[in-house]
């Protein structure tokens, strides 16, 4: 499951979304030819409220709230449209009901529930209600059945289909006990290879099937040019503007050469249900398909824009602005976040303020290899794109468009593997990436933070790293164990170039002990060095600079995360790149697969701690501290003086004074970072 590659946006004016009319498909509805049956009924304001502790088998799925007020009979019909019954609130279940209503529906006090427990249950003149008072729930019998109240329904039907109307047309998705999910929805027209994405303008009336994932973008062993799809996980569907939920917009990693928004590792259902947020995950074009340009050959960006994958991200964010209210999400409360290459994409988004205005209000960057700068046009056009055209014997873009995906991927793999020999300081482990194109991205991130070239997008930032980011990449260099200590110098030179590697050796900050029984000591030391140089130290360096702007920044590091690697693996017992994904999402892939991915109570506890801070950051628009204390320390804003950093562990702490200071001071002052060269 783990992949040890460095895995890790169309300017858009806000378009007010046309809000959804929510329909629930009948049991007879079938999905054929990408269209769902129009046999469906109308319902408004369905919200799945769960008590989701992220524990295996302990999640409590108490009820669905129909927030639209109606008579008891109409409320019961609304439940029926969902394939459910009015909720029978037994006393043993009241604590879960109380928790959910207090947290997510505190403005509503009285609800219709199942009437079967009333002494006059055969009467249609009186009904049962649940009333909230002082945070406690009480069941009352004998209430009027004609008073208009919201209704609580059971939450047991796992195969329900649901249709929402966007401003483009209806989509039919699925419901499970955590909420609603819509898969494989196009956010762009089928693309012309290497061209900028185009927004969908044609509208439709028949529901489009959104129960299956769309094609992934071209990568090793899979993919199609027609791949610009996104997926939405939501606990709430509404037909008005009331109670729209914050949106968490995720950008996957994969070294800009692999991955997709349909990876089950970051299934968004638990995050959506626990936080009552809407989670969006996207595909974007990868590799040569997503970052192909030839300005060096005189081909204008109007013809061949480059940064196609970044334009895809921007268009997906614009789609969210136009459509997410149909899925219960608030377009004014979007948080963009991503891991690894997805974190690099967050850096790119922050680097184009003119193009991202109004598209999001806060961002989270997980494990961005921030030492690696954006590509220069010379590298993106000449080395990468020009090299590919030469290898494929193509002199025109038309020729490249006729080549098979397999041929292009094969050439891409050769370019990536050979990159270290051509441009090591610019391309080590991530040759293909966003470039400074002069249109979207005008400069490297450190220069933009300093106020040059138009500056950055002014939003709060959360940013952080893993304790052992670099270790998992060493096998990709052909390194096994035991490894001769002389190899450390080769690795340092690959990262730094000869001159800076010699300076590093002279300072002897990374000695390899002689008197040790650790057969993997050379790779362990290499891992510490790579982690410092590519992640920890440059992240701190830019965090100091970012903290001097008017934007809040919060920094973290994982001292413990989730890993299922076997004994003997280079990441066994360590906190490696990508180990945060399972903790951030608590994906059912991990929680419900005890054999392949054992999920312990400690994993669940750490996941609650982490996810609740991601959620708080998104819900508040920039403050990661939950509104209800959970016994963990308050997370301070990062500033250049105290350098307060949240240390995620089973017992979280706050570190001050910065991480790895002697090593980071050396890198700050003596050898500098690749983005400074």
Q: Answer yes or no: are the C-beta atoms of 609 and 630 closer than 8 Å.
A: yes
Which residues, other chains included, contact 474 with Cβ-Cβ below 8 Å and sequence gap of 6+? Answer: 491, 523, 526, 527, 530, 570
Backbone angles phi, psi at 137, to 5 degrees: -100, 140
- Active-site residue among 293, 425, 430, 469? 469
Picking from 256, 542, 530, 224, the residue whose alpha carbon sits closest to that of residue 380 is: 256
- What span, in angstroms and rounded, lies between the C-alpha atoms of 273 and 101? 14
Q: Answer yes or no: are the C-beta atoms of 630 and 618 closer than 8 Å.
A: no
- What span, in angstroms and rounded, lies between the C-alpha atoms of 501 and 533? 12
Q: Which two tokens stand for residue 568?
A: 């003997």
Q: Which two tokens stand for residue 333?
A: 């409360």
> Three-class SS of residue 446?
helix
> Three-class SS of residue 206?
coil
Angle ∠(330,113,111) on CA atoms, nearest 5: 50
Cβ atoms within 10 Å, residue 620: 18
The partner residues of 35 in beta bridges, in order of sequence, read 32, 208
Cβ atoms within 10 Å, residue 122: 8
- Active-site residue among 258, 351, 577, 587? 577
- What span, in angstroms and rounded, lies between the C-alpha atoms of 613 and 556? 11
Picking from 501, 483, 502, the residue whose alpha carbon sits closest to that of residue 492 is: 501
- What span, in angstroms and rounded, lies between the C-alpha atoms of 492 and 534? 12
Q: Which two tokens stand for residue 244?
A: 């729209």
Q: Answer yes or no: are the C-beta atoms of 451 and 467 closer than 8 Å.
A: no
- Active-site residue among 7, 36, 258, 340? 340
> Is 577 one of the annotated active-site residues of the chain?
yes
Q: How far is CA 60 from CA 48, 51, 97, 164, 274, in A?
A: 11, 5, 10, 26, 11
Q: Answer yes or no: are the C-beta atoms of 542 and 446 closer than 8 Å.
A: yes
Catalytic residues: 340, 469, 577
């Amino acid at each position: 499951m783990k992949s040890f590659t460095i895995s890790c946006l169309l300017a858009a004016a806000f378009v007010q979304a046309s809000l959804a009319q929510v329909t629930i498909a009948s049991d007879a509805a079938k999905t054929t030819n990408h269209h769902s049956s129009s046999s469906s009924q109308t319902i408004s304001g369905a919200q799945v409220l769960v008590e989701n502790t992220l524990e295996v088998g302990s999640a409590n799925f108490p009820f669905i709230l129909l927030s639209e007020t109606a008579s008891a009979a109409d409320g019961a019909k609304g439940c029926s449209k969902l394939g459910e019954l009015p909720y029978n609130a037994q006393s043993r279940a009241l604590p879960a009901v109380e928790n959910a209503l207090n947290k997510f529906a505190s403005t509503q006090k009285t609800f219709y529930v199942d009437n079967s427990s009333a002494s006059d249950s055969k009467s249609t003149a009186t009904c049962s209600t649940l009333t909230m008072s002082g945070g406690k729930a009480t069941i009352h019998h004998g209430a009027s059945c004609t008073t208009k109240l919201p209704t609580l329904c059971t939450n047991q039907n796992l195969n329900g289909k649901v249709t929402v109307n966007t401003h483009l047309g209806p989509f039919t998705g699925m419901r499970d006990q955590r909420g609603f999910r819509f898969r494989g929805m196009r956010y762009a027209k089928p693309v012309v290879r290497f061209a900028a994405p185009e927004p969908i303008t044609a509208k439709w009336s028949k529901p489009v099937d959104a129960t299956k994932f769309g094609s992934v973008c071209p990568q090793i062993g899979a993919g199609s040019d027609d791949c610009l799809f996104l997926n939405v996980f939501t606990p709430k569907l509404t037909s008005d503007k009331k109670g729209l939920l914050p949106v968490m917009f995720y950008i996957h990693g994969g070294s800009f050469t692999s991955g997709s928004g349909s990876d089950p590792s970051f299934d968004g259902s638990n995050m959506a249900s626990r936080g009552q947020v809407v989670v969006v995950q996207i595909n974007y074009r990868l590799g040569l398909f997503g970052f192909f340009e030839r300005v060096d050959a005189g081909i204008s960006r109007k013809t061949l824009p480059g940064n196609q994958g970044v334009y895809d991200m921007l268009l997906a964010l614009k789609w969210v602005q136009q459509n997410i209210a149909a899925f219960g999400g608030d377009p004014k409360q979007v948080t963009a976040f991503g891991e690894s290459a997805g974190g690099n994409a967050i850096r790119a988004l922050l680097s184009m303020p003119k193009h991202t205005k109004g598209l999001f209000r806060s961002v989270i960057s997980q494990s961005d290899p921030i030492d690696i700068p954006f590509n220069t046009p010379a590298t993106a056009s000449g080395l990468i794109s020009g090299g590919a055209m030469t290898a494929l014997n193509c002199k025109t873009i038309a020729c490249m468009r006729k080549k098979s995906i397999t041929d292009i991927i094969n050439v891409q793999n050769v370019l990536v593997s050979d990159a270290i020999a051509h441009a090591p300081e610019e391309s080590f482990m991530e040759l293909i990436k966003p470039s400074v194109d002069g249109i979207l991205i005008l400069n490297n991130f450190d220069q933009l933070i300093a106020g040059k070239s138009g500056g950055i997008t002014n939003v709060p930032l959360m940013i952080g790293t893993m304790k052992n980011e670099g270790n998992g990449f060493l096998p990709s260099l052909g390194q096994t164990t035991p490894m001769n200590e002389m190899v450390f110098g080769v690795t340092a030179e690959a990262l730094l170039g000869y001159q800076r590697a010699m300076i590093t050796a002279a300072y002897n900050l990374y000695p390899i002990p002689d008197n040790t029984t650790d057969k993997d000591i050379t790779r362990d030391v290499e891992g510490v060095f790579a982690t410092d140089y590519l992640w920890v130290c440059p992240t701190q360096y830019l965090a100091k600079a970012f903290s001097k702007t008017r934007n809040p920044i919060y920094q973290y590091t994982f001292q413990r995360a989730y890993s299922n690697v076997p004994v003997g693996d280079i990441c066994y017992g360590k906190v490696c790149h990508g180990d945060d994904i399972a903790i951030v999402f608590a994906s059912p892939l991990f929680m419900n697969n005890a054999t392949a991915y054992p999920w312990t109570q400690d994993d669940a506890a750490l996941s609650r701690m982490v996810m609740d801070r991601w959620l708080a950051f998104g819900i508040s628009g920039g403050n990661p501290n939950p509104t209800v204390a959970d016994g963990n320390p308050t997370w301070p804003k990062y500033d250049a003086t105290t350098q307060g950093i949240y240390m995620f562990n089973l017992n979280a702490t706050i570190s001050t004074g910065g991480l790895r200071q002697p090593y980071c001071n050396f890198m700050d002052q003596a050898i500098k970072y690749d983005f400074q060269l």
